């Protein structure tokens, strides 16, 4: 058991609104001295908003914040102010300047001077002392870029610790680290904890939370779900709380569906040990015609990355892919397209739409690229194809030539869907196809997915809403912490089973 101290930081009844959206509603958060406290939640839970409110990046409407050692309540108006009060943040992107030395990075903006000129001797000496105290032994005069990202992060932490020594917020620090680096980071965190610091650990890696944290606060849709002690919260319960489900241990009902006659369906996708270093560990899977396969897992578990590795959006570093029985080499998306794949990306604004181009052009582009450089579809053909999908998907647009940026988010999504349907792929990957779409359209799309499957296509369906996937999928692949951890077949599909597989490890049975 870790020794916990007094309450260090308290946030009570925090309300925060953005125009039209409630980001935080009556949220409490407590941090104790000498504690590592995980802050968790799925998409839109409010984690980053809470941090921004605390550190002065955003204003808030209601609530009080108190810090041990500071009189009364306070509001930080800027990250600088937060730092002066003793609250520092280290972000995932390590906001330092790689071209400068380690020592200089630690002291930028507050360089010690001698006779009006910067005192380099002092800078080097002090930063070396600081790092040694934290058990980091490196040459502080070398440029930061010479060191791994893990070390850079620790330098960022050292800087934060030196500037203000009370509360340290780590925002997704382990996302880009490998396992040995995570170990080193945790050693550092434990050391700081023993010095009496309070550390807020924002993360989505389940295993890591159980390895190094004392308490967990879970947020969901802007509200506080609860604060729990790590020792007293089984993994599965944590997953349930994050997903907003009730997990009743005792009422576990396994769903046994009647198995249909086992047609030996044609294998469309056969992946063997495909890996993309840094984003998803080696995985193998098979997807058949008529199958809708779901990818389940928490945010950041590697679902989109797996899809990207299959499609060639991220060129895989190893592995073999067979498509319709033939081995194919996918170096770039065009290879996947030519074989018969389609891919609806998770982030439609950044990777999906061509904002200034018309609805027609956005729908036609994939088919056109597939067709090649020398055969441009005639205006008539293009209009025919475009109209087909405007009707089929009920896309709301003034006309074909409207720039797609003028459409609502949901309609933009339909345009991209139409783009891929037009190419008649054998295998279609849909990454969050119903995100940001109204309920009625969601159902349309789910029905469409089922229809495509019954027509013989293979579909991969990624969604953060488990019910949606359960309604459409016959098989579920589960990921955790960037690794594929198991497959659930048709007769095993249930929310409970999915959550158990996501949670993994520890005391079951």
Partner 1 sequence: MKHVKIKMNNHTFLLIITVLLFIAMYLSGILLFGDKNFGRIQVFFNLFISNAGLIVVATGMTMVLITAGIDISVGSVVAMTCMLLAWMMEHKGVNAISALIIVLIVGTAFGFVQGWLISYLNLQPFIITLAGMFFARGMTAVISTEMISIKNEMFLSWANAKFYLPFGGYENKRGDIIFPYIYPSVVLAIMVLVAAFILLKYTKFGRSIYAIGGNEQSALLMGLNVRRTKLLTYVINGFLAAFGGFLFALNTCAGFVEQAKGFEMEAIASAVIGGTLLTGGVGNVIGSLFGVLIKGTIESLINFQGTLSSWWTKITIGALLSFFIILQSILAARKQRRRAV
Partner 2 sequence: MLRARVKKITEMKLFLPILSLLLVLIINVIKTPNFFNITITNGVFYGYIIDIINRSSELVILAVGMTLVVAASGGADISVGAVSAVSGAVIIFILGGGQTSTDFYHAPYILGIVAAVFVGGLCGVWNGFLVAKMKIQPMVATLILFTAGRGIAQLITGGQILYLRVDHYKGLGGFIPGVPLPTPVFVAILVVGLTYLLLKKTPIGLYIESVGINAKASRLVGLNPVFIQFLSYVYSGLCAGIAGLIITSRVYSIDANNAGLNMELDAILAVALGGNKLSGGKFSLIGSVIGAITIQTLTTTLYAMKVSADQLPVYKAIVVVIIVALQSSELKRMVRNLRAKLMTNTTEKEAA
Question: What three-state secondary structure class fits 370?
Answer: helix
Question: What three-state secondary structure class fits 22?
Answer: strand
Binding partner of residue 313 among partner 1, partner 2, none, CB cut-off 5 to 8 Å per kind: partner 2
Told to check if 299 binds partner 2 by CB under 8 A, we report no
Please select the residue that binds partner 2; options are 138, 183, 365, 470, rule is CB under 8 A: 365
Please select the residue that binds partner 2; options are 86, 294, 333, 410, rule is CB under 8 A: 333
Residue nearer to partner 1 on the CB measure, 152 or 203: 152
Closest CA to 454 of 475, 440, 441, 472: 472
Residue nearer to partner 1 on the CB measure, 149 or 233: 149
Total site size for partner 2, rule CB under 8 A: 28
Binding partner of residue 99 among partner 1, partner 2, none, CB cut-off 5 to 8 Å per kind: partner 1
Binding partner of residue 343 among partner 1, partner 2, none, CB cut-off 5 to 8 Å per kind: partner 2
Give residues with Cβ within 8 angstroms of 370, minimum separation 6: 337, 338, 423
CA angle 441, 446, 452 (to 5 degrees): 125
Q: Quote the CA–CA distance of 237 and 234 in Å, as a whole number.
A: 5
| End-to-end Cα spacing for the chain | 25
Residue nearer to partner 1 on the CB measure, 176 or 221: 176
The mark string for 419-438 relative to partner 2 (x by CB under 8 A, - otherwise) is x-------------------
Q: CA distances (Å), 18 to each of 15, 22, 24, in order? A: 10, 6, 9
Residues found near partner 1 in the complex (CB under 8 A): 79-80, 95-100, 104, 108-109, 111, 117-118, 142-143, 145-146, 148-149, 277-278
Please select the residue that binds partner 2; options are 12, 17, 370, 435, rule is CB under 8 A: 370
Binding partner of residue 3 among partner 2, partner 1, none, CB cut-off 5 to 8 Å per kind: none
Told to check if 366 binds partner 2 by CB under 8 A, we report yes
Chain centre to alpha carbon of residue 41: 11
Give residues with Cβ within 8 angstroms of 7, minimum separation 6: 30, 31, 32, 33, 68
CB of 187 to partner 2, least distance (A): 38
Please select the residue that binds partner 2; options are 369, 392, 450, 474, rule is CB under 8 A: 369
Question: What three-state secondary structure class fits 64?
Answer: strand
CB of 340 to partner 2, least distance (A): 12
Please select the residue that binds partner 2; options are 118, 145, 231, 354, rule is CB under 8 A: 354
Specify the length of the chain in residues: 509
Residue nearer to partner 2 on the CB measure, 406 or 491: 406
Give residues with Cβ within 8 angstroms of 361, minimum separation 6: 354
Q: Are 62 and 89 in contact (CB under 8 A)?
A: no
Q: What are the DSSP calls for 78-120, one per residue?
A: SHHHHHHHTEEEE-TT--S-TTSBHHHHHHTTS--EETTEE-H
Told to check if 412 binds partner 2 by CB under 8 A, we report no
Q: Quote the CA–CA distance of 188 and 469 in Å, as a whole number.
A: 40
List binders of partner 2 among 133-192 (CB under 8 A).
Answer: none
Question: What three-state secondary structure class fits 457?
Answer: coil
Told to check if 332 binds partner 2 by CB under 8 A, we report yes
Binding partner of residue 148 among partner 1, partner 2, none, CB cut-off 5 to 8 Å per kind: partner 1
Other CB atoms within a 10 A radius of the CB of residue 46 amount to 24
List binders of partner 2 among 303-322 (CB under 8 A).
Answer: 311, 313
Please select the residue that binds partner 2; options are 187, 351, 426, 490, rule is CB under 8 A: 351
Question: What three-state secondary structure class fits 321?
Answer: strand
Q: Are 227 and 215 in contact (CB under 8 A)?
A: yes
Residue nearer to partner 1 on the CB measure, 5 or 112: 112
Binding partner of residue 419 among partner 1, partner 2, none, CB cut-off 5 to 8 Å per kind: partner 2
Binding partner of residue 454 among partner 2, partner 1, none, CB cut-off 5 to 8 Å per kind: none
CB of 364 to partner 2, least distance (A): 8
In degrees rounded to 5, what are phi and psi of residue 333? -50, -35
- Site residues (CB under 8 A) for partner 2? 311, 313, 332-334, 337-338, 343, 345, 350-357, 361, 364-366, 368-370, 373-374, 376, 419
């Amino acid at each position: 058991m870790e020794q916990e101290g007094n309450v260090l930081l308290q946030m009570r009844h925090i309300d925060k609104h953005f125009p039209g959206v409630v980001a935080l509603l009556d949220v409490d958060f407590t941090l104790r001295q000498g504690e590592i406290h995980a802050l968790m939640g799925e998409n839109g839970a409010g984690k980053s908003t809470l941090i921004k409110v605390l550190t002065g990046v955003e204003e808030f409407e209601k609530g009080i914040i108190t810090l041990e050692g500071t009189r009364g309540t306070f509001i930080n108006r800027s990250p600088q102010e937060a730092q002066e009060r003793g609250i520092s943040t280290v972000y995932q992107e390590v906001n330092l300047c790689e071209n400068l030395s380690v020592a200089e990075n630690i002291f930028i903006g507050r360089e010690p001077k001698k006779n009006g000129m910067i005192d380099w001797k002092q800078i080097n000496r002090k930063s070396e002392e600081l790092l040694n105290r934290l058990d980091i032994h490196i040459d502080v005069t070398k440029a930061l870029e010479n060191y791994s990202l893990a070390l850079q992060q620790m330098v960022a932490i050292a800087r934060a610790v030196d500037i203000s020594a009370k509360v340290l917020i780590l925002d997704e620090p382990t996302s880009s680290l490998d396992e040995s680096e995570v170990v080193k980071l945790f050693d550092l965190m434990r050391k700081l904890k023993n010095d009496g610091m309070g550390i807020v650990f924002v993360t989505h890696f389940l295993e890591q939370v159980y390895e190094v944290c004392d308490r967990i606060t879970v947020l969901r849709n802007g509200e506080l779900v609860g604060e729990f002690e790590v020792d007293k919260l089984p993994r599965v319960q944590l997953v349930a709380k994050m997903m907003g489900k009730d997990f009743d241990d005792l009422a576990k009902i396994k769903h046994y569906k009647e198995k249909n006659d086992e047609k030996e369906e044609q294998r469309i996708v056969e992946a063997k040990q495909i890996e993309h270093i840094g984003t998803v560990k080696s995985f193998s899977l098979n997807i058949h015609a008529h199958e809708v396969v779901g990818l389940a897992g928490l945010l950041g578990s590697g679902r989109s990355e797996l899809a990207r590795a299959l499609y060639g959006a991220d060129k895989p570093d190893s592995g073999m892919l067979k498509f319709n029985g033939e081995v194919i080499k996918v170096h770039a998306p065009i290879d996947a397209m030519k074989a018969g794949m389609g891919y609806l990306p998770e982030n439609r604004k950044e990777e999906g739409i061509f904002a200034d181009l018309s609805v027609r052009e956005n729908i036609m582009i994939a088919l056109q690229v597939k067709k090649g450089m020398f055969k441009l579809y005639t205006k008539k053909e293009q209009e025919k194809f475009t109209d087909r999908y405007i009707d089929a998907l009920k896309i709301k647009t003034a006309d074909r030539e409207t720039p797609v940026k003028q459409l609502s988010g949901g309609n933009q999504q339909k345009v991209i869907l139409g783009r891929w349907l037009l190419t008649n792929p054998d295998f279609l990957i849909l990454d969050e196809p119903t995100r940001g779409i109204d309920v009625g359209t969601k159902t349309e799309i789910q029905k469409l997915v089922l229809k495509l499957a019954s027509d013989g296509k293979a579909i991969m369906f990624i969604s953060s809403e488990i019910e949606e996937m359960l309604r459409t999928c016959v098989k579920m692949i589960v990921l955790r912490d960037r690794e594929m951890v198991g497959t659930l077949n048709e007769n095993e599909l249930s929310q409970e089973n999915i959550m158990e597989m996501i949670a993994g490890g520890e005391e079951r049975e």
